[in-house]
Amino acid sequence: MLQTGPSERLAISNMADIVSARGIVRQLAGSIGFGLADQARLATAVSELTRNVMQYAGNGFCEITDTSDIKEISIQVLVEDHGPGIGNLDKAMQDGYSTSGGLGAGLPGTRRLMDKFAVESEPGLTRITINLIRQRP
């Protein structure tokens, strides 16, 4: 995708990084014209994906990009780690599936919140890309 605005890359390895990533995506979203509900959607999505990075891979990174153009405002977030990979991707995308005794809501919930959701995962690389897109009024 053509990059039309600023991009922020953040290392993720602890709770403070997750809090920062949430705040940065929320602030960027607000500054380019997303409403409060969309800011909250993005913050929740980034929170879930970065929490998975910390929990399952130990560390990784998150890259937040303003992908807006003349017709729409949009944000893309890439979350990547070099951990073990998602063992069963089909199951991991279903509500209630967790290998850690969690709710199993992070990935399916994030997919529902976003307009685009793409995941690739193999041992040593998990890369999830999400987009939220709104037409300009």
Ligand X SMILES: Nc1ncnc2c1ncn2[C@@H]1O[C@H](COP(=O)(O)OP(=O)(O)OP(=O)(O)O)[C@@H](O)[C@H]1O
Which residues form the interface with ligand X (CB under 6 A)?
A: 48, 52-53, 56-57, 81, 83-86, 92, 97-100, 102-107, 126
C-alpha distance from residue 85 to each of 4, 80, 112 (Å): 31, 10, 22
- Which of Mg ion, ligand X, none lies near 81, with the C-beta cut-off 5 to 8 A by kind? ligand X
DSSP-assigned letters across all residues of 72-132: EEEEEEEEEE-SS--S-HHHHTSTT--SSSS-S-HHHHHHHHSSEEEEEEETTEEEEEEEE
User: Which residues, in sequence order, are bridge partners of residue 108?
Assistant: none
Task: Kindly tell me which residue out of 20, 44, 50, 52 binds Mg ion, with binding defined by CB under 5 A.
Answer: 52
Question: Does 106 sit near Mg ion (CB under 5 A)?
Answer: yes
Nearer to ligand X by Cβ, of 30 and 84: the residue is: 84
User: Which residues, in sequence order, are bridge partners of residue 121?
Assistant: 126
Could you tell me the smallest distance in angstroms from the CB atom of residue 49 to ligand X? 8
Nearer to Mg ion by Cβ, of 91 and 136: the residue is: 91
Nearer to ligand X by Cβ, of 127 and 134: the residue is: 127
Could you tell me the smallest distance in angstroms from the CB atom of residue 32 to ligand X? 27
C-alpha distance from residue 6 to each of 28, 56, 66, 135 (Å): 9, 29, 6, 19
- Which of ligand X, Mg ion, none lies near 29, with the C-beta cut-off 5 to 8 A by kind? none
